[in-house]
Chain A
Amino acid sequence: MTPSTTLSWQVTLGNVLRRTAVLLFLIALGLYFSSESEQFLTERNLTNIAQQNAHVIIVTIGMTLTMLVGGIDLSVGSVAALGGAVSAGLIVREGLPIEAAVILTLAMGFGIGLTNGALVVFGKLPPFVATLSMMGVARGLTLLYTNGKPISGMGEAYTRWGRDRLSVPVVGDVPLPVIVALAVVLLALLLLTRTRFGLHIYAVGGHQETSRLAGVPVSRVQLLTYGISGMLAALAGMLLAARLYSAQPQMGVGLELDAIASSVLGGVSLFGGVGNVPGAVIGGLLIGVLGNGMNLLRVASYQQQMIQGIVLVVAVTVDMYTKRLERR
C-alpha cells in the first residue's frame, strides 16, 4: 500500500521459469530423442514433424481461442472431417473449381462454429454440451455425405497443399501445410495482441459480467470466437485430406483431444482468460515431437498413448507448481 510496494511485475526466476517451463520441457525432450536416435535431429525428420502436425496446430489455435473466451470446442475433429469431405465432394462430384470449393468449405466451417456459439450464447447451453452435440452431428453428416467411403481424385491443385514444398530463402524447402499453419499462427497472434477483439476475448473469458458492465459486446465476441474455431477446423480438415490424397470419413477422430492437450500444455486455462498463442503452439509441438520420437524409438502404439497421458499430467503439474512461484 505504500509507494515502495507498488512497483511492477518484475523479472524473477519464478516468472522466467513459469513462462518457459513447457519450452524447456520441449527442448529436453528433443535432446533426449536426439541422443537416443540419430534420425531425430535431421532436416527430413523435423520437416516431417512440422508437416504431420500442421493441422493439429491449426485446430489448436481455434481451441485456444474458444478456451480463452471461457468455452471449449469439442466439435473440431468432426468438423475437420466434414470440411475435408465437403471440399473434396464439391470438386470431385460437383466439378467446382478448387478456389470456390475452399471458400465454400471455410464458410461452412464458420457457419458450424457460429451455430456452436449461438447454442452457447442464446441457447445458454454449457459449451461442453453444445459442442459435444455438434461433434456427433458433424460426424454423422460426414458419414452421410461420403456414404462412409473415402472421396478421392481431387486433383493435383488440391493435394499439393498436403505435401508440396515451397523454397523459402535461408530456411530451405518448407511444406505448404506448414506455411498455412504459420500464417494462421501469425494471424492469431496479431488478433490476440493487437486488436480490440483480441482484448475482448481475454476480457470475456476473464469475467463475463465485468466485461458486460464495461460495454464489451460479450455475445458477439463469443459467437465470432466459435465461428473462427469452426473455420479453422474446416481448414485443417482440407489440409489433412490433401495430405492423405483423399477425404476419409473417419479422419480427425480424437483431434479435439490433441488440441485441448496442446492448449493446456501451453498454459491455456480451462476456465478462460489465461493463455497465449506461442504457448499453445509449443504445446502442439510437444505432442508432435513426443509422437514422432516414440515412433523413432519403436515404442509400441499402445504404450505411446499411455506415455502421452503421463506426459500431459507431468507437464501440467510442473506448470502449476512453477505458476505458484510467480510473484510480482
Chain B
Amino acid sequence: MRLCGCVGACTAFFMYKSRMDQTPLLQMQGISKSFPGVQALKDIDLTVYPGEILALVGENGAGKSTLMKILNGVYSADEGAITWQGQPVAIHSPHDAQALGISMIHQELALIPYLDAGKNIYLGREPQGAIPGTVHWRKLYQQAQADLAELDLKLNVRTPVRFFSIAQQQMIEVAKALSIDARLIVMDEPTSSLTDREVDTLFSRMRSLRERGVSIVFISHRLEEVRAICDRVTVLRDGILVGTHPVAEVTTEDIIRMMVGREVGQMYERRNRAATDGVVLEVRNLSRGDRVRDVSFALRRGEILGVAGLVGAGRTELAETIFGAHPATGGEILLEGEPVHIRRPQQAIRSGIGFVPEDRKRQGLFLGMSVAANVVMAILRRLTRPVLIRWPRVEAITRESIQRLDIRTPSQAQRVRNLSGGNQQKVVIAKWLTLDPRVLILDEPTRGIDVGAKAEIYRLMHQLAERGVGIIMISSELPEVLGVSDRILVMHEGRLAGEFDARTATQNDLMNAATGTTLNKGMNPA
C-alpha cells in the first residue's frame, strides 16, 4: 500500500518535472477589483512558472500591491480566477495562501516592534515544546539564528526588532518569508531600504531558491535590479496589464515606456510666464536624520517646483521639515533672504508657509466638521477677537473661498466627510489661502482625485503662481510633475539626485534619477 503510494507519487513527480516548462505554478486570470470610486485592477492576467523570478513593475498606484494582496487573500477579487498548479483555488485569507505555499514580504514592514527577531520570524508557526501549547524556545531561536545566517546576518535573535535599522528589519522580514517552506514568494519592494551588499546577498539567495524550483514574484521600482535577477517582466499601468515579456528581450527604456506610456498633454496647459527672479524660499544643507540629507535649493516667487522621487525617497520628510512638523537636525531655511527658525508648524504658518499634506483625510482635514470650520481653522485666532467666534465673518470668508475655488458643497455646514476627494482637497487648499501664504507646499495634491478635479487643482496652482506664490509640489506621477512644474527636483534616498527643467526633461530622465541609475547631476552647491 505504502510502496504503491510512493511509486505513484514519484512517477507523478517525474511527470510533473518533465512538464515543468508548460504547467504554470500560478495563473491569475481576468482579475478585476474596484474600490469605491477607483477601478484598481481591470482584467489582469498573471502567470508564474515553477522556478522563475517574475518581475512585476508599474508606477505607484498601478495596482501591483493590490494584485498581490488578492493573491495573498487580504482582498478578494471582484472578478477573475486563480489557478494553482493547474487546480482552481479560492484564497480567502493569508492563512489560506500560506497553506498553499505562498509567502509574502509586505511593502510595509510586517514585524511587531516589541518582539524579538526570533519571535517575529516564527510568529504563528512556533515550534512546539514538550507540553502541548508551550513553545520550544531553544529550537525557535536556533532555527531563527540559522535563517538569519543563511542571509549572512549577524543579528541577535533575542533583540527586540525595534532596535534594528530599517534595512535590518527588512532583512529579518526576508528571513521570515524564506523560513516558510514556500513554493512561491512574493517580494513587494524588498530592496527599497537595503544597502548594495544586502541586495547582493538577497539576490544570491533568490538565485539558489530559483534553482530549487521555488518561484518568486519580485516587485521593484529599481529596473536595474529587474534586469539583474528576473526572467520575465509583467508591466501594469493604471490597473491595466500592459504586457509580459522575457527580460532578455526588452530594454530598460522599453520597460519605462510601458510603465509611463500614457498620453501627456491636454491635461496640463503649459504656462507662458516670465520667471521672476526674487527667491522666496531658500533651503541650505537641510537635514533630518537619515531621511533628509543635505538638501539645498531655492524657490522663486511665482515658480512651481516639482519634487519627484520614489516612495520613501524623503520627499514628504523634506516638506515636513520645512514646515516644522519634524524639526531639522541641520541646515537652515531662509524666507526672502532672512533666516527663519522653524521648529514647529505654528512658526512656519506665521512665516507664511502653507502645507497641504499627503494624507488629507488624516492630516489635512477635520472630517467630522463643517466646510466653514475647516476653511477658517488656520485663522481662527483672527476671527475670535475679542473672545467669541464671529460667525458672520466666518461665513463671509467661507463663501468667498467656496466661490473662488469652486468647491461643490450643498452648504457651508456640510461635513467635509461627505464631499468628494477633489472638493475635500480644495477645502484644504482654501484653508491655506485664507492665510495668504508666500510659499505653499503640496504633497501629492491630486492623489485619489478624479481627472476633472485634477485639472481644476492644476489651474488653481497656476493662478496662485501667477500671483507670486512660490509652490512646491511633491508628486509620484511623472506626467503630472512634468506637465505642471517649471522646474523639477528629484530625490533619491534622502538626497537631491537631480534637477531638471520641466520643459526639456523626459520621464526617463526623472525615472533614472529617482531609481539612482545615473550619477547625481548638477545641483549641490559646495
Contacts and interface: CB of A to CB of B under 8 A. Distances in A.
A124 interface: no
A1 B165 contact: yes
A274 B111 contact: no
B13 interface: no
A203 B123 contact: yes
Interface stretch (B83-91, B148-156, B312-320, B377-385): B148-156
A206 B95 contact: no
B126 interface: yes
A212 interface: yes
A215 B94 contact: yes
Interface string A158-202: 000000000000000000000000000000000000111101001
Contacts of B264: none
B506 interface: no
B155 to A, nearest CB: 5
B112 A9 contact: no
Contacts of A212: 94
A194 B158 contact: no
A203 B94 contact: no
A282 B192 CA distance: 44
B119 interface: yes
A215 B111 CA distance: 13
B135 A273 contact: no
A8 B94 contact: no
B110 A213 contact: yes
Nearest to A210: B110
Contacts of A6: 153-155, 164, 168
A195 B134 contact: yes
Contacts of A328: 159, 163
A212 B92 CA distance: 13
A206 B114 contact: yes
A210 B94 CA distance: 11
**Interface centre among B115, B154, B168, by most A CB within 10 Å?**
B115
Nearest to B121: A214
Interface in B76-114: 94-95, 98, 104, 106, 110-114
Contacts of A7: 156
Interface residues of A, number: 28
A123 interface: no
A196 B135 contact: yes
B156 A203 contact: no
Contact of A215 (B124, B156, B158, B198): B124
B167 interface: yes
A8 to B, nearest CB: 4
A203 B133 contact: no
Given A1-B165, A203-B123, A211-B123, A9 B115 contact: no
A63 interface: no
A9 B115 CA distance: 13
Interface in A7-45: 7-9
Contacts of B106: 213
Given A199-B126, A215-B94, A273-B114, 16 more contacts: A1-B165, A1-B168, A1-B195, A8-B158, A9-B159, A195-B133, A199-B115, A199-B123, A199-B135, A202-B114, A202-B115, A203-B112, A206-B114, A210-B110, A215-B123, A274-B114
26 contacts: A1-B168, A1-B195, A3-B154, A5-B165, A6-B154, A6-B164, A7-B156, A8-B159, A194-B134, A194-B135, A195-B133, A195-B134, A199-B119, A202-B112, A207-B113, A210-B110, A211-B124, A213-B74, A214-B94, A215-B94, A215-B95, A215-B98, A215-B124, A216-B123, A327-B163, A328-B163
Interface of A: 1, 3, 5-9, 194-197, 199, 202-203, 206-207, 209-216, 273-274, 327-328
